[in-house]
Structure 1
């Protein structure tokens, strides 16, 4: 009985396994070609609106500090950076940052002792992220994950929605119920 159940589960879930493998392969390929461990992220705040709407999925490519173009909207590069106290967790091909990285426009940069420091600002914000008069307080190029190369508006809302633990618990319970339901009850 258990052996038949295992085979049935595998047959019924083969498509999901293929989709999961394609997803993992795609993330792996994006990591290789983007040069960064975070080739995709979702915009969770409105600080870059209307340029990049909340809920957009953004694609990121690694960039050196010397190549970052600075300037006000629309000239400066939009970069993704982590804060100095960020914890980084790597799981297989996925990387999680706590707190999440920030996506803002590079508006100025200086080179100090061979290292670039970048001043950033959200397009919707009135003030820069750091003290304009103290370049050492700006984000070091060591913390820049990459620059935005492309984005798709709004479809990232699903990811933002899935960050809610109650939603995750509900989905897991739903999947368990579907898997454990006998075939006769599923077809009804």
Structure 2
């Protein structure tokens, strides 16, 4: 096979791989945009679990997708997330074990973690809660890893290099190579 033809095949293969990588990354970006839009429209968010109070149903290190709903729609057995008092910064996600009063604007209910021996000390009075739709074990650790500044910096540099390579003018590169060959 002539040497120039082999270079052409290699160049086309690299170009095809580059286009495939860019297409996959573009689809990933589109998926992220759609998920952000859906989160605003459907009031869906993500909760990360640092403790094992809901084990084995939702172990520590899991994430859960939650959707905001009126508290009047909850039932005994639902797993919901509520904000705690201002002194306790993190919300709590436990199973509803009793609905004490649903007659007012706020529903009063009791909750308990699946792995806890006792119910939460005080009942909750809420007008809205976040209902757990589903959970994924172990994904919280991956999300925390991606928050590392070195990981974010590496991803940024890699994405910058990929975009620069993808949009670098091809004619200029070919002319530079031709000029270098004629100079020899």
| Corresponding residue to 1:152 among 127, 136, 145 | 136
| Contact in 2 for aligned 1:79/1:106 (Cα 8 Å) | yes
Corresponding residue SS for 2:121: coil
Corresponding residue SS for 1:28: helix
Matched, 1:42 2:42: no
Distance 1:153 1:161 in 2: 15
Matched, 1:25 2:34: yes
Instruction: Name 2:127's counterpart in structure 1.
Output: 142
- TM-score (structure 1 length as normaliser): 0.60
Q: Which has the higher contact order (CA 8 A, sep 6+)?
A: 1
Gap runs ≥5 in structure 2: 1-18, 166-184
Distance 1:172 1:159 in 2: 11
| Corresponding residue to 2:150 among 162, 170, 178 | 170
Provide closer, same or farther for how the CA distance between residues 180 and 20 of structure 1 changes in structure 2, counting only shifts above 3 A. closer
| Contact in 1 for aligned 2:50/2:61 (Cα 8 Å) | yes
Distance 2:36 2:137 in 1: 19
Matched, 1:51 2:52: no
| Contact in 1 for aligned 2:69/2:128 (Cα 8 Å) | no
Instruction: Say how many residue pairs are matched.
Output: 143
- TM-score (structure 2 length as normaliser): 0.61
Corresponding residue SS for 1:59: strand
- Specify the structure having the higher radius of gyration (Cα): 2
Corresponding residue SS for 1:159: helix
Q: CA deviation at 1:17?
A: 5.9
Q: Deviations over 1:83-134 (max 9, x none)?
A: 1328xxxxxxxxxxx9332211111222276131121111111222223xxx
Computed over aligned residues only, the root mean square deviation of the Cα atoms, in angstroms, reads: 3.2
Gap runs ≥5 in structure 1: 1-10, 71-75, 87-97, 132-137, 184-188
Distance 1:48 1:19 in 2: 31
Q: Greater helix share, 1 or 2?
A: 2
Q: CA deviation at 1:147?
A: 1.1
